[in-house]
A and B are shown apart, each in its own frame.
Chain A
């Protein structure tokens, strides 16, 4: 066994190299842990939403005109075969007031014991309301009002001439889903809620839970047959279905990010150990000459790798967890979660980091250790270069081609829908790995081009730097590969995100064209739970001078060919340009087709049902079923794209629909601001929400710029980690070229020339890795968006964000220069005489 002193001295006497290696492992482990933890946290949030949306309530009995009704009308409902429970609820939009503050929220009155079987919430303090005059508040509502259990609050509802004073008995925490819905915030007794709704003793829905094996359609049919005429059965809790496409898309995005960060981390660690071993080839050769066996030399390197990998892993776990918190926070902002379920540290993320560090470290040292020992010791000792171990370019080319073939196979698999999610992600990663392997074939021609470009400015430095990069081709190729992999991964994630946000922004611009919006309740994820506007409001605002058009928009849940969807109806007739983002269909024919009762389908719904313009679908709303023609396919993000749009007049002729939920108001240009002021007054008068188009656009702009800024920060962080590769490579160049640098300094190379020579090399390395990285990253982004199509059919348009790409290139090249600064200074400060005597 090689003495421990050798191993220890190697670390002690090369502090910079030791530090760089540890930092590389730590950065890689941190990246893996943070992405896995953030991915897990986001998946848990999504799962939580999904679980809540997919509550055990299979269907609801409501009045056809959504008015309250007496549960006594259907006393036998609970005895129907297949029905496990019937839970009466009264939901009413209310305003809660306490201590001079107020908040608008949904109040649900129910039998709490039964309600707990279908909704998940935890009690933070006090106890849930069970007696008349008591309420339980959701934590954020209680915080906003500044109340505690025991406090009194006053609650009012529209049409109720007075406020009810009630006592707060408990504060509970909702699951993430409810916080996204941002509605069901007060729970009280059925009696009090029905009082608030001006229908004492009545309910406005009976929620039905089925036995496990009950056949939903058959039970619904039996219930429907037993109901009095004014009541209908409607499918409940389809919000889970509506959010599924969005969740699937986010899932693909997160998994792509996780896999790409893993690939980048492997390259970074491998690069580090390759350099670390390569710079000691002479020393290792000497060890063998004096009697160390190949096994002893390799063992010593493995021992060192295990030690450094262990320290790097431990150091990487903590920043990884911190990074994950920042990433999770970003996801929270991106997805609009106002109240995340606290996610504990995920053991699998920490375990993956703990395994990743040592395993990848040992695998990374395996190849250079083997290669170092394959060289005859005398050859290694006599050579002035450590460039004695050569990656086989043939092997790299074969590996590259194999990766691309694998990618093609995975894409084919995705195309045929076999394990589409996993296959598409693997394909994207394979494109990246294949690109990294094949890149070495392009290095020489590209290097020549860049050299010709730069030599006009710094001929000497360019010539010498160029030669050195060619001479140390393996090192150049490896450094370039790391930069390439990180750049490709970053650009893929970055460009995909900006494509998505850009698409959402453009969709908003096309679909929301009213100058002002009036809403009865805050918009939710799927709009299916919205409150109707007062019926008399239309005539009130029609009289405001300067109003050009009032569009009445109504949302309701629908079943389209048996698939849950959201039906949105509005007055298309009033628009010169329809407020839709049409993907497929003839725009000119649409007004006529919509008037005749045809519908526009969201692309996700259309693809799910395999329908196209000209086809028909069967639409069921509140028990009424009609066959509806498909006029066109539109890009829609509301309700995860499971959206159906119809003209208001035509839809109301066919289906029982509640009154409008949103008014979209357009004003004459000259009267726009006056109309806005008047509408604000109306909103205050009726307790409505007023939004101007400018506010909405500003909101979206801020959201998009917030996402973009945070994203760019993450990309720059990734580049900083990648810059380790340049520091590694250039430090290695300086160490190895010390002798020649010394000679160059003696024959007249200035310190500034030596400095510039290394800067030039770094700039070239940056260009060699980052430029193709950006190009392949854009391709991968395109493929990721194609994968989204496979998963969700959102109809997301791919856009190469030139601003993002240019900014990434400039930052990447600047960081490349910055990373070279330390080695370059070291090179410039070398003492010529000491340098020429270095071995």
Chain B
């Protein structure tokens, strides 16, 4: 792994990162020349209209795929220069993921789904099970250990996904539209849970969202438009956010 000189309170530093895809001969640039830093224990929200490149940015920040150009350091590791195996190990041990569509394995029980990253990492079954239980207790689902995902509501499934993301005690939690499939009450529960993760455990949470209410709970907001960061600052109140976004979009 490649280490860089990085400030200890910064978990991610991105320098002029860009992403380019070529799809059927057409070049697509989800984001271009983005530079940013994310602190430990910070909750960061990324907003922007559909197709603005926010999910792709999240995937690059999480090391799911490398940037096409530029450098990105996650906990001192230059992701751009890591092999697929090293990026996988980094994700497995340091990064938790939460998706809009939960992405639980339907053939595994709640407990097994949560223990999955530990099992993949070779943690003994018993240890993995007890850590999964602790993680599920934290999201309030310790009574549904042997249920299958299909036997849970959407909100419960997302809490299982959060438990799975947290079970490895990650330094970084990345959530892509975590409340997109939930009603407002359950969406709020999940948002507060993520904020607690950042503030109480000093774990960094990066949330991609369309929901202003989610963004309003973040410590910082980044707005992406056409692949560029057009806003990077405090989210403020809902009204201020709406105004700021409108202004950016109009521009």
Chain A positions within 8 Å of B, measured between CB atoms, are 384-385, 459-460, 463, 467-468, 470-471, 739-740, 742-751, 753, 831-833, 836
Contacts and interface: CB of A to CB of B under 8 A. Distances in A.
Output the residue of A384, A468, A747 with the most chain B CB within 10 A: A747
Output the residue of A470, A744, A748, A750 with the most chain B CB within 10 A: A748
Given A459-B119, A467-B107, A748-B121, 9 more contacts: A460-B119, A471-B106, A746-B62, A746-B97, A747-B92, A747-B116, A748-B88, A750-B120, A833-B59
Q: Give the 10 A-B CB pairs with smallest separation, nearest first.
A: A748-B92, A471-B107, A743-B103, A467-B107, A747-B117, A748-B120, A740-B105, A748-B117, A749-B120, A384-B106
B203 to A, nearest CB: 16
B89 interface: yes
A836 B100 CA distance: 11
B120 A460 contact: yes
Given A743-B103, A746-B64, A467 B108 contact: yes
Contacts, number: 68
A384 B107 CA distance: 10
Contacts of B89: 748, 750
A746 B91 contact: yes
Nearest to B85: A750
Nearest to A467: B107
Contacts of A459: 119, 122, 125
Given A749-B88, A836-B99, A743 B105 contact: yes
Interface in B95-134: 97, 99, 101, 103-108, 116-117, 119-122, 125
Contacts of B117: 747-748
A592 B160 CA distance: 90
Given A832-B64, A833-B64, A836-B103, A747 B164 contact: yes
Contacts of A739: 103
A646 to B, nearest CB: 74
A826 to B, nearest CB: 16
Interface string B69-85: 00000000000000011
B226 interface: no
Contact of A748 (B65, B91, B103): B91
A406 B95 CA distance: 61
Contacts of A753: 120
A384 B121 CA distance: 26
Output the residue of A739, A749, A751 with the most chain B CB within 10 A: A749
B120 A833 contact: no
A750 B92 CA distance: 9
Contact of A385 (B62, B64, B106, B108): B106
B176 to A, nearest CB: 10
23 contacts: A384-B106, A385-B106, A459-B125, A470-B107, A471-B107, A740-B106, A742-B103, A743-B103, A744-B105, A746-B103, A747-B91, A747-B117, A748-B89, A749-B88, A750-B85, A750-B88, A750-B120, A751-B85, A751-B88, A831-B65, A833-B59, A833-B64, A836-B99
Contact of A744 (B59, B64, B106, B120): B120
B93 interface: yes
A780 B125 CA distance: 43
Interface of B: 59, 62, 64-65, 84-85, 88-89, 91-93, 97, 99, 101, 103-108, 116-117, 119-122, 125, 164
A746 B119 CA distance: 14
Binding site secondary structure of chain A: helix
A576 to B, nearest CB: 68
A751 B119 contact: no
A753 B117 CA distance: 12
A736 to B, nearest CB: 11
Nearest to B118: A748
A53 B89 CA distance: 78
Contacts of A746: 62, 64, 91, 97, 103
A747 B208 CA distance: 18
Contacts of B121: 748
B119 A745 contact: no
A71 B169 CA distance: 111
Contacts of A385: 106
A743 B125 CA distance: 20
Nearest to B149: A384
A132 B117 CA distance: 98
Contacts of A751: 84-85, 88
Contacts of A743: 99, 103-105
A748 B97 CA distance: 10
Contacts of B119: 459-460, 463
A747 B106 contact: no
Nearest to A463: B119
A753 B91 CA distance: 15
A459 B125 CA distance: 9
Nearest to B121: A748
B88 A745 contact: yes
Contacts of B103: 739-740, 742-743, 746, 836
A831 B92 CA distance: 16
Contacts of A460: 119-120, 122
Contacts of A748: 88-89, 91-93, 117, 120-121
Contact of A747 (B85, B107, B120, B122): B120
A742 B99 CA distance: 12
A643 B103 CA distance: 76
Output the residue of A746, A749, A753 with the most chain B CB within 10 A: A746
A463 B97 CA distance: 22
Contacts of B85: 750-751
A634 B93 CA distance: 75
A751 B65 CA distance: 14
B124 to A, nearest CB: 9
A470 B109 CA distance: 14
A385 B105 CA distance: 11
Nearest to B97: A746
A737 B106 CA distance: 10
B153 to A, nearest CB: 15
Contacts of A831: 65
Contacts of B101: 836
Nearest to A468: B107
A471 B108 CA distance: 10
A169 to B, nearest CB: 79
A739 B105 CA distance: 9
A798 B69 CA distance: 72
Nearest to A469: B107
Nearest to A455: B125
B94 to A, nearest CB: 10
Contacts of B164: 747
Nearest to B84: A751
Nearest to A836: B103
A742 B65 CA distance: 12
Contacts of B122: 459-460
Output the residue of B89, B105, B121 with the most chain A CB within 10 A: B105
Contacts of A745: 88
Output the residue of B85, B88, B91, B122 with the most chain A CB within 10 A: B88
A742 B125 CA distance: 23
Nearest to B119: A460
A471 B91 CA distance: 28
A818 B59 CA distance: 34
A467 B113 CA distance: 12
Output the residue of A470, A742, A836 with the most chain B CB within 10 A: A836
A743 B93 CA distance: 15
Contact of B116 (A384, A470, A742, A744): A744
A579 to B, nearest CB: 66
A109 B236 CA distance: 120
Nearest to B124: A459
Contacts of B64: 746, 832-833
A471 B62 CA distance: 31
A666 to B, nearest CB: 70
B158 to A, nearest CB: 14
Contacts of B125: 459
A587 B158 CA distance: 83
